[in-house]
Structure 1
Amino acid sequence: MKQRKPFRQTLIDGVDKRGKNECWLWKGPKRNGYGRATQTVKYGPNRKRRFWSAHRAYLIFVAKKKVPDDSVVCHVCDNPPCCNPSHLVVTSQKWNMHDMAKKGRKVVSRGNHNGSAKLTDKQVEIIKKALKARIVSRTEIRDRFNISKSVVSTIVNYTSWKHILPLSPIETVKNTCHPSPLSKRLRASIRKHGMTATARRLHWSVGKLRRLAYPLALGYEYRKGKM
Structure 2
Amino acid sequence: MSAPGILIARIEAVLAEHRELWSARREMRRRKISDGAFRGRPSNTPASFWLKVAIAGPDDCWPWRGHTRGDYGRYSEKSKHIDAHRYAWIWSNNYNPTRQQFVMHRCNNKKCCNPSHLELGDAQINTADAYKDGLAKSGEEHHRARLTAGQVLAIRGDRRRQVDVAADHGIGQPLVSAIKTGKIWKHLEG
Which structure's CA Rg is the greater one?
Answer: 1
TM-score by length of 2: 0.63
Aligned partner of 1:130 in structure 2 is 158
Structure 2 unmatched ranges of 5 or more: 1-38
Once residues 57 and 67 of structure 2 are traced to their aligned partners in structure 1, the CA distance between those partners, rounded to angstroms, is 22
TM-score by length of 1: 0.54
| Change in CA separation of 1:4 and 1:62 when aligned onto 2, cut-off 3 Å | farther
Verify: 1:149 aligned to 2:185, yes or no.
no
Once the two structures are superposed, residues 181-211 of structure 1 have per-residue CA deviations (whole angstroms, 9 ceiling, x without a partner) of: xxxxxxxxxxxxxxxxxxxxxxxxxxxxxxx
Aligned partner of 2:134 in structure 1 is 105
Aligned partner of 1:93 in structure 2 is 123
Aligned partner of 2:106 in structure 1 is 76
Q: Which amino acid aligns with 2:78?
A: T
Aligned partner of 2:49 in structure 1 is 11
Q: Which amino acid aligns with 1:98?
A: A
Aligned 1:155-174 pairs, distance under 5 A: 155-162=179-186
Once the two structures are superposed, residues 81-122 of structure 1 have per-residue CA deviations (whole angstroms, 9 ceiling, x without a partner) of: 2222222111112112223333x32332423x4443444555
Aligned CA RMSD, in angstroms, stands at 2.9
| Change in CA separation of 1:128 and 1:78 when aligned onto 2, cut-off 3 Å | closer
Aligned partner of 1:188 in structure 2 is none
Once residues 122 and 101 of structure 1 are traced to their aligned partners in structure 2, the CA distance between those partners, rounded to angstroms, is 22
Once residues 20 and 123 of structure 1 are traced to their aligned partners in structure 2, the CA distance between those partners, rounded to angstroms, is 50
Verify: 1:64 aligned to 2:94, yes or no.
yes
Give yes or no for contact 2:64–2:113 (8 Å, CA) kept in 1: yes
Deviation at residue 71 of structure 1 after TM alignment: 0.8
SS of equivalent to 1:52: strand
| Change in CA separation of 1:121 and 1:3 when aligned onto 2, cut-off 3 Å | same
Give yes or no for contact 2:105–2:118 (8 Å, CA) kept in 1: yes
